[in-house]
Chain A
Amino acid sequence: MTHATAAADLMRPPSPAEPGAGVYSNKLGMWVFLASDVMFFTALIGSYIILRFGMSEAWAAPGAVLNVPLTGFNTFLLICSSVSMVKAYAAIADGKPYFLRPVAGKMLRDGGLKFWLLVTILCGAAFVGVQVYEYIKLVEHGFTPAGYREGSLIAEHALADPVRYGAATGAMYGSTFFTMTGFHGFHVTCGVVAMTYLYFTKVLPEKYSPQDYRGIETIGLYWHFVDLVWIILFTIVYLI
């Protein structure tokens, strides 16, 4: 393949006298991609805001339909994975590729890239797992992308307490909730897959060094962005 030329070009410094973005191309490219992803989520989140504003009837009260404690835990997982990601990045920048480092005779004081990235992957995977579980439970109870399924538990609740359960807005609630969180979950899944791939092809074979850890920094940016989107989603979908 033409990998050789490809890689050669990635390392080609920006032209003299014109410093370009001042960062290497992978990172620049990732930032451009994230900008475009902002617009993608704008379409989804924007539609949610617009549709919700456009309805005169009340939306279901926070926590009425959704399991907020469970998702709160999930939010916690994602924040943890973000900090472990940045720890992984710091570790390799400092030249620490290992799992655990004995400090003062004890293990587990300060992990390296292998440790922190593994934590990140596990947290991310757990997040997806919890979300899948949440979806299954919601659909079981009758909350679907089409709204409150007729004859289901939630539909009964909505009949009994139309205001708290937003009986009139259930269809839009379902549409927007599943689309937004679903595509966020899809982003998380992509991130987990990508990190796992890197883990086996690059991290375990110790291909990263303090001289070059572009892969980690780039995937890290993506990962934090996904966290950032979740922060917004959690607030506007679950709490408001």
Chain B
Amino acid sequence: MATTAHVRPNYIMIWLYLFVLTVVEVAAAFLSHIPKQWLILILIFLAVWKALLVALYFMHLKFEPWRLRLIFLVPLPLATILVVTTIMENF
């Protein structure tokens, strides 16, 4: 069975990882004095990091063939195009 063929990641470690990142996020948002623009960048970076952890390990995309990953990747550029274009409206 393919999913057991790979070494199974330590799910508890990833859970810890996610937990710590969440704590860092909340702390950065409320306790730090980072300028707003930087803070936003940092928070988004952390969110994407967490989302990737979930997608790669919990949804085991890391261990799937590219054919399958592609399905999840296709909508992302479309979403970006929609949002970025429409925001340009304001400039």
Seen from chain A, the residues whose Cβ lies within 8 Å of a Cβ on chain B are 21-23, 28, 31-32, 34-36, 38-39, 42, 46, 49-50, 53-54, 62-63, 68, 72, 75-76, 79-80, 82-83, 85-87, 90, 93-94, 210, 217, 220-221, 224-225, 227-228, 231-232, 234-236, 239-240
Contacts and interface: CB of A to CB of B under 8 A. Distances in A.
A202 B89 CA distance: 51
A72 B71 contact: no
The A interface is mostly helix, strand or loop, or mixed, namely helix
A39 B82 CA distance: 10
Contact of A35 (B26, B75, B89): B75
Contacts, number: 127
B30 A68 contact: yes
B67 A53 contact: no
Contacts of A32: 71
A35 B11 CA distance: 24
Given A39-B79, A50-B89, A85-B58, 4 more contacts: A39-B75, A82-B58, A93-B4, A235-B44
Interface of B: 1, 3-4, 8, 11-12, 14-15, 18-19, 22, 25-26, 29-30, 39-40, 43-44, 46-47, 50-51, 54-55, 57-59, 64-65, 67-68, 71-72, 74-76, 78-79, 82-83, 86-87, 89-90
